Each structure stands twice: as structure tokens, then as C-alpha cells.
Amino acid sequence: MFKIPIEELTKKAYNIRKNLIELMYRSGSGHLDTSLSLVEIWISTVYSDFFKFDPNNGAWEERDRIFLSEGHACPLQYCVNAELGYYPIDDLFNTFRQPESPFQGHTKRSLKHGFENSNGSLSIGLWHAYGHALATDRYVFCVAGDGEFQEPSSQSLLFAPFNMKPAPNFTLLLNYNRLAQDNMVDLGPIADVAALYNWQVLQVDGHSFQALGEAFQQAIKDTERPSFIVCNTTKGKGGAIEFAGKLGHHGVPPKGEEEYKAYLAGLEAGRQK
């Protein structure tokens, strides 16, 4: 399923989370808990055994693509792409959210850095990714948030395979952590709606490499329909235990040394399980 063993993926997930905590504590800025909830999803995608990319040539036409629609989670993409070799991690730590930096608070498209799309406004990334999938025969993945699926502009994408044209090389990954900026999120029968409109629908534990890997294999085997993978996650996973899965920490980096240590303690506690 993956290019490396799951044990190695687990180590990478730990290191990525540690970098995320450090990055946003140092900068005093960024959406930490959303980024933490997506770690296994993003790592599973780019380390899948079928997923092709070249960090030395980000514009390689034969690459597979991963789009970020949940744009405020871009620190995760930044940390993972440093791990993949697109740029040194020090470039990120030294310039995050600085003027003229490629590492802004929402992603700015830069194939050199492995960023397929600019994002910010809700649903832009979704439609950009789906349209891109119609124009290429490569695999296209798109990571979206449950908060943005409260918007009609996002929900309407679910009708595309039925009313427009199916893109069987497209996989939509929903980060379903059930927490938006200031409210709980309940998307109701969204999986049933997607299935009705010609999506292959899969529901998985979004923190399980095994479950994600199996879902990806099933997604690429369906050559008739796009796939919609509902990834059940915990916001703040692997961070401060007292904040995980709770409202009030959207877009909030660790405040002071005490919270910073709480995030590191939660990270270590998760490692021991």
C-alpha cells in the first residue's frame, strides 16, 4: 500500500506533528489543531505506493496531484513537503508568514514547492481540483474540511459526477473532525447524498494508516466513478490532550510556554500508546 512500512510512516507522523507545534509556537501564528488532524491523511496520500512526484521537478507532467482546499491547514503541507525534499525545513521555519515568503497563512500556488493551488475562500480548492482531474489522466486528490462543506458552493461539487462528468481519477478526502471555527459540524447524510450522485463512498478512521491505505487502493480500482473518502478525525490529534476535539482553539497557536509544553506532552503521550 505504501512506499515504506507503516512503522516508518508512524515515525514521520510524530516528526511532522513535532515540527508543526514548534513552527506555530515560534511564529505565534497558524492553525495548529486543524493541521494536526490531517497528518495521517496527507502522509498516507503522498507515500502511497502508486503516488508519483518529483521534488526536484515540481512541474513534472507525469506527477500525481494533491490539492488543499482546507487552506488554513497549509502548515501541514509545508512541513510534509519539506520532509519530501522540496526545500529545507529551515526555509520554512525562518520565513513562515513573512513578507515575500512562499509559506503564507494560506497556500499560494508554486509547483516548485509542490503547491498545486492557491486557496483561501471556501470551496475554491475543491472545484479547482475537480476541474484539473478532468483535464489529466493522473491521480488527483483533494483535501477538504467539514466546515467548508457547510457551504452550498462546496456541497454542489457532489452533484458534478452525475450532472456534469465523472472524473474517476479524482478522490475527495473529507477531514471530518466535526469542529469548525466556532460551532460543531454535523453534515448529516452527506455520504448517502454523494453515493446517490455517482461517487464511490468510503468511510474510514482518518488516523489509521492501514484504513487509509486500503481505502486508497479501493479508490484507484474504481475506473467509473470518483471516490469520496470520509475521514473521521479528531481536531488537535496528537497535541495537547486538554484541547483535542474541543471548540475554542481554531487558528490558535500555543500561547506561552505552558501551552507549548502541554502540546509536547500530548505528543509524547500519543507516542507511548
CATH code where residue 138 lies: 3.40.50.970
DSSP string across 20-38: HHHHHHHHT-S-HHHHHHT
Q: What is the pLDDT of residue 87?
A: 98
Tell me the C-alpha distance between 5 and 75, whole Å. Answer: 25
Q: What is the pLDDT of residue 12?
A: 98
The model carries a pTM of 0.96
Residue 109 resides in a domain: yes
Cell of 27: 511564529
Q: What is the pLDDT of residue 182?
A: 74
Tell me the C-alpha distance between 73 and 107, whole Å. Answer: 9
How many CB atoms sit inside 10 A of residue 252's CB? 15
pLDDT tens, position by position, 21-57 = 999 999 999 999 999 999 999 999 999 999 999 999 9
Tell me the C-alpha distance between 155 and 47, whole Å. Answer: 29
Torsion sign over Cα 42, 47, 51, 53: positive
Tell me the C-alpha distance between 63 and 31, whole Å. Answer: 28
Could you tell me the pLDDT band of residue 273, with boundaries at 50, 70 and 90?
A: low
Q: What is the pLDDT of residue 113?
A: 98
Q: Is residue 272 predicted with pLDDT exceeding 70?
A: no
Could you tell me the pLDDT band of residue 270, with boundaries at 50, 70 and 90?
A: confident
**273, 208 in Cβ contact below 8 A?**
no
**83, 142 in Cβ contact below 8 A?**
no
Is residue 171 helix, strand or coil? strand
Q: Cell 480548492 belongs to which residue?
A: 125
Cell of 76: 501541514
Give φ, ψ of 142 to 5 degrees.
-140, 125
Torsion sign over Cα 87, 89, 94, 99: positive
- Number of helical (H) and strand (E) elements in the chain, helices listed first: 11, 5
Q: What is the largest CA-CA distance in the chain?
A: 52
As for how many domains the chain has, the answer is 1
Residue 158 resides in a domain: yes
Question: Pairing state of beta strands 140-145 and 65-68?
Answer: parallel
Residue 226 resides in a domain: yes
pLDDT tens, position by position, 151-209 = 999 999 999 999 888 999 999 999 999 988 777 889 999 999 999 999 999 999 999 99
Q: Is residue 255 predicted with pLDDT exceeding 80?
A: yes
Q: In what order do the strands lie in the sheet with 227-232?
A: 65-68, 140-145, 170-176, 227-232, 200-205
Residue of 157, 139, 167, 149 whose CA lies nearest to 45: 139
Cell of 266: 500530548
Residue 200 resides in a domain: yes
**126, 69 in Cβ contact below 8 A?**
yes
Range of the domain at 80: 6-272
Mean per-residue pLDDT of the chain: 95
Residue 237 resides in a domain: yes
Q: What share of the chain has pLDDT > 70, as a percent?
A: 99
Q: Which residue has the higher pLDDT, 122 or 203?
A: 203
Residue 1 resides in a domain: no
